[in-house]
A and B are shown apart, each in its own frame.
Chain A
């Protein structure tokens, strides 16, 4: 198990405490997202993904 810094561990615990609300399970219509996906797709096509160890 990886040892986190204390501040990061505290942040992770907060994230773990986020509750599920099933009313959010319905699909979201966000028209702006189509354009955003298109822009991101073009960037990734050119830049690719960075290499990680």
Chain B
């Protein structure tokens, strides 16, 4: 069980680190999305994360399920020197909110060609899925008027996303069938 004094203890032991992390986070929130490029099918996107660990090549992939061709699984990860994408790497580049915002941008672009599709999102670990949930929470007000966002609740039932609920996966669907500007 977490001690009620644990947060205070961390601050006492690492005050400078705590301040730096907060500043990084605030700076991160102010920045806009990364510059993204897309394949002509709008099923593959690439951008570069920039931060204390350098420039890291990121890729977002959408792949349809054979059994549900209107549902696309979203894959996201780093591209290694071997050209292979890996979704297990934790790059710690202090830009997670900027990255999530950029991935959200790729979903909107994806919808240009497939306005009736569902996008299925699930992290490869519970921690990664929690990070996605935080990203959705932070942007919910911005998108809830135009997108349905569903969370997979414990009973394996989809429900409209609520901020205070844990979910193991997410589904996104556009409310309108055309994304006219």
In the bound complex, how far is the Cα of B68 from the Cα of A45, in angstroms?
Answer: 9
Please, which residue of chain A has its CB at the minimum distance from the CB of B87? A32
Contact check, B37 vs A29: say whether CB atoms are below 8 A apart.
Answer: no
Interface residues of A, count at CB 8 A: 40
Determine how close the nearest CB of chain A comes to the CB of B88; give it in whole angstroms.
7
Contact check, A21 vs B146: say whether CB atoms are below 8 A apart.
Answer: no
* CB of B53 within 8 Å of the partner chain: no
Contact check, B37 vs A20: say whether CB atoms are below 8 A apart.
Answer: yes
Determine how close the nearest CB of chain B comes to the CB of A18; give it in whole angstroms.
5
Please, which residue of chain B has its CB at the minimum distance from the CB of A6? B142
Contact check, A28 vs B85: say whether CB atoms are below 8 A apart.
Answer: yes
Interface of A is mostly: helix
Contacts A24-B37, A44-B71 known; A39 to B105 CB distance under 8 Å? no
Please, which residue of chain B has its CB at the minimum distance from the CB of A25? B39
Contacts A21-B37, A44-B67 known; A2 to B118 CB distance under 8 Å? no
Task: Pick out which of these stretches binds chain A: B2-10, B11-19, B20-28, B150-158.
Answer: B150-158
Contact check, A18 vs B142: say whether CB atoms are below 8 A apart.
Answer: no
Give me the 10 closest cross-chain CB pairs, A-B, nearest first. A15-B108, A50-B158, A24-B39, A21-B37, A30-B85, A2-B176, A15-B109, A7-B142, A47-B156, A18-B109
23 contacts between A and B (CB under 8 A): A1-B180, A2-B146, A11-B108, A12-B108, A13-B181, A15-B105, A15-B112, A16-B181, A19-B37, A20-B37, A20-B40, A21-B39, A24-B37, A24-B46, A28-B44, A28-B59, A31-B84, A40-B73, A43-B156, A44-B67, A47-B157, A49-B68, A49-B71
